[in-house]
Each structure stands twice: as structure tokens, then as C-alpha cells.
Structure 1
Amino acid sequence: MPRLLPLLLAGAALAGCTVGPDYQRPATPGSTAGWVEPGTPGAVDLAWWNRFGDAQLSALVARAIENGPDLAEAEARLAEARANRSAVAGTNLPTVTAKGSATENVLSRNGQLPIGQIPGFQREFRLFDGGFDASWEIDLWGRHVRQDQAANAREEAALFARRDVMLTLIAEVARNYLDLRNAQATAATAKATAEADTDLARLTRLRFDAGETSRLDAETAEGAARASAAAVPDAEASATAAAYRIATLVGSTPEDVGAMLRAPAPLPASPDEILVGVRSELLERRPDVRRAERELAAATADIGVATADLFPRFSLFGSIGQQARNPGDLFSSDSTRLQIGPSISWPIFSGGTIRAQIRGADARGQGAAARYEKAVLGALSDSETAINRFLNARIAAQEAGAALEREQAAFSLAERRVASGEDDRLALARGRKAVLVAERRESDAAARKAQAAVALFKALGGGWS
């Protein structure tokens, strides 16, 4: 038998092949074309949240990366994938098992062996056995190669899934922080508007009492004052809710972060220019696309694993140890036992199960290919949409800012006219209300621009590194 082992190993090396399809990354439609939207060329900013110039936002992002529960869950899944990859790699090596036993044995007098007719043979005896069993499967058809490929691809998919979670987490922290500051600005403007509407209602009531206006005007002014007052608690509730959402994202209790964030602060100024890079590099940067591509690679390797079940499996096995009836004889050379040789296992008939499993693996591969194509098209669409929204939000913010400047200029003119006696205080109150409305619109436009900037940064795939 020792003479046969080198021949068997040499035959395995010569005859071995890898069944199943070899993976090739599919071509990505539209990835080599330029941007449809007129984005600003240049390298994508990876640490984009610092572009808002808000130290508290940057600190919250760092805290979320350090303590966020979503990221901790993704880390655990990555650790699981790495452990699975190590387990699969271990199947390529020989296995060695240590065994030992000490048994009391009683043989049947009426069994197959005529115990009573064999001189010196005892029916009852003890048996002590200890040694090692070893086995190694020869990978003739590339089953282990495909298993390694699938496990490595799934580990990489878990890594990109973690990066996708990180990118989403950073974007959610930024979005909720902007919601918080915008809600605080809304609450402040709502309070000022309520005061202005109350003053306007008071002046309108005075004119009604003097017979200079109708009851309808007075009631309408008082209704507007009450509506403005009602908007204040809604805005304050929105700010509190945003603070609590941030606490969850950064892995803290509401009272830990909420108190820190409740102090009003201005809305961070979003950048006017966002570099969008080269469109062909987008798919390499987007972790969701990279994850889908790695899952497709794993599914392709699984087809080879299933296909290998059609062919025979060859293994080498061996067992060596000491066996004796008395413990004192275990270390004697006469107690040595040895068994070594090849084995073969071939599912000649399985009722079509193996071929059905191959078809199932092939169908899962087709599904993974469809998901990858969807991820590619979705990434391209998301990015183009995000560029378009940011550019339009920037225009809207500029127009809202210009409208605010005009209302402020009109209010300054109203103040001069009232001071010179050319107009009454009711016109001044109306001018003040118009400025507050313009301020609210300008703040909302700035918030939409900032949110559009976050969406664009996320769509470009920056931040997970």
C-alpha cells in the first residue's frame, strides 16, 4: 500500500480540474460615459461632513462610527464571514483526530462466533484502545477551490456591507443634525412671527374700533396670530425628536445627547460646490455596488461546488494506535494497530437531487447577476438625481436669499416712512411680518440645499473609508 500512495497522489495532480464556471465580472452599462448632469469635476471629498464647518456635527459623526449599534451589527457579520472563510480553508487540510477508549466487553455464546468451542478464548474481557485517525480528501474536481472562492467573496461582501452601513450611518447623522438645526430655526422664526402677528392683530383691532377697517380684517388678523402661536410647539417637538434620533444613531441614551443638542445653534452652511469625480470611478467607490458584485462572485463559485457532487470523491485515510486487553501491554510493539488506504465515494444514483441542486445554484447566480445590474443602474441613477437636486436646490437657495434681501430693504423703507409720518404702524407691522416670512423661506431653502448636499455626497460613495 505505501507504494500505491505516490501513484495515487500523482494521478490526482494530473487528473484534477475545476468544474463549474469561472467568474468574470460583468460589464457595467453606462459606466464609461460622462455625467449627464453638469456636475463639477474633481476628486470626491471622502470626509465630506467636515465641509459643513460644524464642529459638533463632526464630533457626532466620529461618535457614531465609534459607538453606533448599526455599525456594531455589521462588524459582527463581518467577523462571522471571516470565521466561515477560515473554516472553509481548514477543510483543505488533512484532519487528525485523537481517540481513546476503555471498554468492558461480553460476547454472546449464541452469536456468530462459537465462543465456547475456541480454546483459551474468554467471553468477557476488557479492551483498551488509543491512537490517531487521519483523513484527507483529494480535490480532483476543484470542490475546495470553489468553496474557497465563495467564502472569500462572501467575506469581501460582508466588508463592503459594513462600509455601506458606515456610509448610511454618517449620512443619517448629518441629515438628522440638519433637521435639528432647521427645526430650531423654525421654532425661533415661529415665535417671532407669532409676536408680529399678535402686534398686527392688535393694530387691526384698534383700527376696527376706530371704524377704519372691517370686522373681517380684525378676525382674520387674530386668527393668523393664533395659528402662528400654534406653530411654535410643533417646531420644538420636531427639534426634540431629531435630537433623540441622533442619540440612537450614536449609541447613546436620549438624556445623554438630547440635553447637549437642545441648545439652539445655527444651521450649518452647506458648500456651494461639490466635486463629483469621474463617473467611471463611481461604481468602484459605491460599497453597495461592490457588495452586489462580490455576492455574484460567491454565487458563481457555488455553482462549481454543486457541480462537483456529480463526480466521485477520493480520500486517503489512516489510523494508528495501540490496542490491548491489559493497560500494561499498551506500550508494547505487539499492541500496535495500523490501517491506511484510499477510499472512494460516488453518488451514482441520487434521484436527480444533485442536478436539481445545480439548477438551483445556477438560478441563484442569475438572481445575483440581476441584483448586481440593479445596483449598478441604481447607483448611476441616484448620483445623477442627486446632482440635479443639489444644483436646483442651490438655485432655489440663492433666489430665497435674494427675496429676503428685497423684503429687508422694503422693511427699512417702511421704517423711514413711518418715522417721517408718511405711513402708519400697521404698514410697519406688515413689513416686519413679510421679512419673517422671507426669513422662513430662506431658512427652508438653505436646509433643502444642505440636505441635497448630504444626499449627493452619499450617492457619490464618499465617507466609508
Structure 2
Amino acid sequence: MRFRLLLSLPLLALAACKVGPDYQRPHSAMADDWLEPASTAPVSADWWRQFGDPQLTALVERALASSPDIRQAKARIAEARAMREAAQGGQMPLVTMTRDTSFNRISENGQFPVSKIPGFDPEFPLIDSGFDASWEVDTWGRASREVERARAMEQVAEWARRDAVVSLTAEVARTYVDFRLAQEQLATARTEQDAAAKLAELADMRARAGEGSRLEAEQATAQREASSAALAQAEADVAAAAYRLAALVGTPPEQLVPDLLASSGPVPTAPDSIASGIRSDLLERRPDIRRAEMELAAATAGIGVAKADLYPRFTLQGSIGLQAQSLDDLVTGESLRYLAGGFFRWPLFNFGRVRAQIRAADAKADGAAASYEAAIVKALSESEGAANRFAASARSGTNAASSLEREDRAFTLARLLFDKGETNRLQLEQARLRLAQSQRQDAQARAGKAGAAIALYKALGGAWQGEGEGK
């Protein structure tokens, strides 16, 4: 007993060893301050509520609950979690129950002369029942590294789901903005088409009366036809945006599109300012960065798994049970049988396969490290660029609103003068057409600002934080 205990001590000591590097997050040199003017207040998690549009909020929440993309991401998490649990199970002993019943005959002309043994019957039944156990000692930390890798891959799947949440919420919001913009453009196109038709009619009448040129009449007719084409395109744009929303939400078109087409509303109003948070927090907040980091952690653990194959693998095994030729004898003490021992395997000659696998694992980790650095650079560039575009869109929106205000005053004045008989119908319809064009530009500017805000929220990694870390 003491001898066996002494033999087990070296194995227990070796079990504490783990080959391969331990993962440490790479240092990233990044400035603390944003290049673009930004507020360092916390980033809004449910940022779509900042637009103050109940239907947008409802669509985003519906998409998060039923989108196939999110369900797929959740299924990958469940798969990765099961793989991690399987890896953890590999650290524990394997115990199996056995039961074997057979009828046997030993050759009388074989190696053992059983026919010459008095009273020995070469034909006999045999019943065996018991338990077998085996346990590979984690001598070099192979099983531990396998668990580390599986745990990291589980986190990869989780961060991939959160990245899908960020992308989905942004895409739903962007498409909803497109839908409302298309509706406004459709209303404007109808106004333009009506004004263009009246202008064409007036120009033709003036040409026939000799008060205008035929060139002006032809140009007005061409403008009317172009307005009709724009109207048809606007109607198609509304329907197309509604169908895209149905696809993003994960709902059959017949369950969503009719209600959307029956609804009306302006382009969602973007907030005047957006909090960007602390710049270095992007490393924690952006799901694509965290996913790349966990892929690096998994690749680092894979180096240890590969290096463990350089060394012998020790396995302890045992078996205990009952063996007899009849059921009556099976439960007696004389039927007890057991086995205890162990073995090791050591790939001495593998023609460089193990070392090639180690080099491959090292290269995979180097690639993962490069991907992690690229994700950080991409996140910083996208965030700064989105902040710049949001600021520019705000200025553009101010100019478009000012232009619309002037055109609205001009049309009001033109209508007043027309009512007084001081101007003709042609001048009134021209003022109406200019107002419609200004309304189109204003709607585009508001949609541009809303789109820039959505892009900034996405670049900052907003959306998943409200779920909590445990999901």
C-alpha cells in the first residue's frame, strides 16, 4: 500500500503542470481622447428609443424576439456550451457498466491440452457483470487546455450573438428610416407630379396661344413624364422597404407589410447629440472586438493542447465485478474478480507531425492576434468616422430646414399674389414645384441625420448591454 502511494505522488505532482502559454490580453496603444468632439457619458443601450418613435421601438423589440439570425446565434451558443461541458467531462474518470453472457468451447487441440485435464469440460457458460473505470491523468495540462479552449469558444459564440444584436437593431432602424423616407418621398412625388402636369398644361396652352414657345411646352411635358416615372419609383421604394422590414423582423410579409403600408409618420427625428462613452471602453463594448479576443484566447489554449502531445500520456484503469458459470454462483464471494493498473503512451516516432501541429497552432494564434488588432483599429476608425458624419449631417439638416422654410414662405407669397391677381397660374405652380423639391431635400437631410445617428450607435457597440452579461 505504501509503495503504491509513493508511486502515485509523482503523478499527482506532474498533474499540476500545464504546457503552453497562459492567455493574456495584448496591450493596445490607443489614445484616451476622441479625435472628434464627443461626450464621454455612457452609451445608450436601447438607443432606438432616443428617436421617440413607438413603431420603431416595437419593430426592434419584435426583431430581437423572433429574428432567425438571433435564433441561429443562440443555437451556436448552445452548441458551444455543450462542447465545453464535454471537454470538462474529459477531466473526470470514465466509468462503464458491463454485463456479458456467453457460451464457450475451448479447442481440445489448441495450445492448452484441456482434453488431458481430468474433469475439465471444454464447453461451459460464462456470466460476467461489473464496472470498468479509466482516467487519463492530466499530466501536462492537455485536458485543462481543452477546457480553456472550449470555454473561450463558448464566449466567441456569445459575443457573436451580441454582435448579431448590434447589427440587427441597426439594420431594422436604418430600414425603418428608409421606409418613412420613401413614404415622404412618395407624398412629395405626388405633389411634384401634380404641379408638373399643371405646368405642362399651361405651357401647352401658352404655346398654342402664341404667348410661349413650343420648346417650353416640350420641356414642361418632359418634366411631367419624369415626375410620373419618379412617382412610380417612389411607390416601389415604399413597398420594398416594407418587405425588407418583414424579412429583418423574421415575420411573413402578410403579417406585417399591410399594417406598415397603412401606417403613416415622418422620418424619425435623430437626437441632437449622442454620448460616445470613454474611448478605451470600446475594447469592452464592441462585440466584434470581444469576439476576436476570445478567438485569440482559444487559439492560445490550442498551443498548449498541441504541445501536450510531445509528452507521454498516463492512464489509470481498473475493473471490478463478478464472474461465474451460473447465476447461482454469480453472487458468491468466490466469483469476485478485479483488476487495477495503468499504462502510458508516448509517440516517440511520428515523423514531425506533432511539431508541425505545434507550429500550426502558433501560426493560428498569431493570426488571431492580428485579427484582434485589426478589430480594434476598425472599431476606432468606424467610431470616429461615424461621429464626423453625424456632425456633418446635423449641419446639412440645418441648411435644408432653412431652405425649406424660405421656399415655404415663397410659395405662401406666390399664392397670395395669385389670389390677388398679381401673378399667373404658371408662376404659382413653379413655386409649388420648388417647394416640393425643397421638401424632398429636407426629408433626405433628416433621413441622412437619422442614418448617421444609427451608424454612430452601431459603431459605438450599443444595443446588447441592456440584456445583461448573463444572457
Deviation of the 1:363 alpha carbon: 1.1
Match of 2:114 in 1: 115
Per the alignment, in what secondary structure is the counterpart of residue 44 of structure 1?
coil
Cα RMSD for the two superposed structures: 1.3
Q: CA deviation at 1:244?
A: 1.4
**CA-to-aligned-CA distance 1:196-249 (integer Å, 9 cap, x gap):** 101111111111111111111001101111111111221121111211121122
Tell me, in whole angstroms, the C-alpha distance in 2 between the residues paired with 1:258 and 1:4: 79
Deviations 1:120-165 (A, max 9, x none): 2222211110000011121111112211111111111111111111
Please list the CA deviations of residues 291-341 of structure 1 after superposition, one character each: whole Å capped at 9, or x if unmatched: 100110010000001100111111211100001111211111111111001
Q: Which residue of structure 1 lines up, in the alignment, with residue 153 of structure 2?
A: 154
Q: CA deviation at 1:195?
A: 0.2
Stretch moving more, 215-224 or 21-30:
21-30
- In 2, Cα distance between the equivalents of 1:43 and 1:437? 39
CA distance in 1, matches of 2:401, 2:441: 9
Shift, 1:420, TM fit: 3.6
| Structure 1: distance between partners of 2:119 and 2:398 | 108
1: CA distance, partners of 2:143 / 2:383: 40
**Which residue number in structure 2 is paired with residue 79 of structure 1?**
78
- Post-superposition Cα deviations, 1:437-458, rounded to whole Å, max 9, x if no partner, equal 0000000111111111111000
Name the counterpart of 2:253: 254
* Contiguous gaps of at least 5 residues in structure 1: none
Residue 461 of structure 1 aligns with an amino acid whose one-letter code is G
Amino acid at match of 2:416: R
Query: What letter corresponds to residue 350 of structure 2 in structure 1?
Result: S
Output the CA distance in 2 between the equivalents of 1:208 and 1:29: 72
With normalisation by structure 1, the TM-score equals 0.97
- Partner letter of residue 269 of structure 2? A
Residues 244-393 of structure 1 mapped to structure 2, 5 A cutoff: 244-263=243-262, 264-393=264-393
Aligned to 2:428: 428
2:444 paired residue number? 444
Distance 2:120 2:127 in 1: 17
Partner of 1:221: 220
**Alignment partner, residue 29 of structure 2:** 29
State the number of aligned residues.
Answer: 463
Q: Which aligned pairs between 1:127-206 and structure 2 lie closer than 5 A?
A: 127-206=126-205
CA distance in 2 between counterparts of 1:168 and 1:303 reads 32
Q: Distance in 2 between matches of 1:227 and 1:40?
A: 46
The one-character-per-residue Cα deviations of 1:400-440 (angstroms, maximum 9, x if unpaired) are: 11111111122222223333433222111111100000000
- Cα 1:220–1:24 change in 2 (3 A) is same
CA distance in 2, matches of 1:58, 1:35: 30
Give the Å deviation of 1:106. 2.0
The letter of the residue matching 1:342 is: G
- 1:10-57 CA distance string (max 9 Å, x none): 212323411001111101232x43111122332211110001111111
- Measured in 1, the distance between the counterparts of 2:303 and 2:252 equals 47
Shift of 1:113: 1.8
- In the other structure, the counterpart of 1:50 is 49
Residue equivalent to 2:468: none
1:70 equivalent to 2:83? Answer: no
Residue type at the aligned position of 1:204: A
**C-alpha distance in 2, partners of 1:41/1:405?**
35
Where 1:33 maps in the other structure, the secondary structure is coil
SS of the residue aligned with 2:91? Answer: coil
Instruction: Tell me, in whole angstroms, the C-alpha distance in 1 between the residues paired with 2:400 and 2:236.
Output: 26
How far apart, in 2, do the equivalents of 1:6 and 1:293 lie? 43
CA distance in 2, matches of 1:287, 1:73: 17
Hey, what's the Cα distance between the residues in 2 that align with 1:80 and 1:58? 31
SS in 2 for 1:101: strand
Aligned partner letter, 1:455 = A
Q: Distance between the aligned counterparts of 1:8 and 1:74, measured in 2? A: 49
The one-letter code matched in structure 2 to 1:187 is L
* TM-fit CA distance, 1:4: 4.0
| 2-structure distance, mates of 1:9, 1:156 | 36
Q: Tell me the SS of whatever aligns to 2:319.
A: strand
Q: Distance in 2 between matches of 1:143 and 1:233?
A: 66
Q: Which moved more, 1:186-195 or 1:136-145?
A: 136-145
Aligned residue in 1 for 2:19: 19
Correspondence for 1:415: 415
TM-score (norm. length: structure 2):
0.96
Distance apart, 1:260 and its partner CA: 1.1
Give 2:306's aligned amino acid: A
3-state DSSP of counterpart to 1:396: helix
Counterpart CA distance in 2 for 1:153 and 1:166 is: 20
Compared CA separation, residues 152 and 8, structure 1 to 2 (3 A)? farther
Task: Using the aligned pairs only, state the percent identity.
Answer: 50
- C-alpha offsets along residues 161-184 of structure 1, whole Å, 9 cap, x if unaligned? 111111111111111111111111
1:262 is paired with a residue whose SS is helix
- Residues 171 and 110 of structure 1, relative CA distance in 2, 3 Å threshold: same
Mapped pair 1:97 → 2:104: no
Give, in angstroms, the shift of residue 74 of structure 1: 0.2
Give the match for residue 461 of structure 2. Answer: 461
Runs of 4+ aligned structure 1 residues displaced above 4 Å come to none
